[in-house]
């Protein structure tokens, strides 16, 4: 069993890296097998770069880009796809 956490992100370069890292630490400390899927939902800042960097430090981080229509619900659906 694996917990999949899907996080939509748009222009979150200032906090998304720390969010992913802290979430990973907490889940790992509680022994919960997990993956963290972060959907870059049309960011115009450095969010994608931060996510790529986070994926090198957090092996369960799975960044993906939503190149289609944007929005919270669409990003969540895209993350489960």
What's the whole-model pTM score? Answer: 0.93
Model pLDDT, residue 81: 82
For residue 72, what pLDDT band results from cuts at 50, 70 and 90? very high
The answer to whether residues 13 and 44 touch, using CB atoms and an 8 Å cutoff, is: no
CB atoms within 10 A of CB 7: 20
Strands (E) in the chain, as ranges, are 3-9, 34-40, 61-65
β-strand partners of 64: 39
Model pLDDT, residue 57: 96
| 11-67 tens-digit pLDDT | 999 999 999 999 999 999 999 999 999 999 999 999 999 999 999 999 999 999 999
Alpha-carbon span 53 to 61, nearest angstrom: 10
């Amino acid at each position: 069993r694996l917990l999949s956490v899907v996080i939509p992100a748009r222009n979150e370069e200032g906090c998304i890296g720390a969010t992913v890292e802290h979430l990973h630490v907490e889940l790992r400390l509680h022994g919960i097998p997990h993956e963290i899927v972060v959907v870059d939902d049309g960011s115009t800042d450095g969010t994608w770069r931060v996510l790529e960097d986070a994926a090198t430090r957090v092996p369960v981080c799975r960044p993906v880009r939503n190149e289609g229509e944007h929005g919270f619900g669409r990003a969540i659906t895209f993350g489960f796809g």
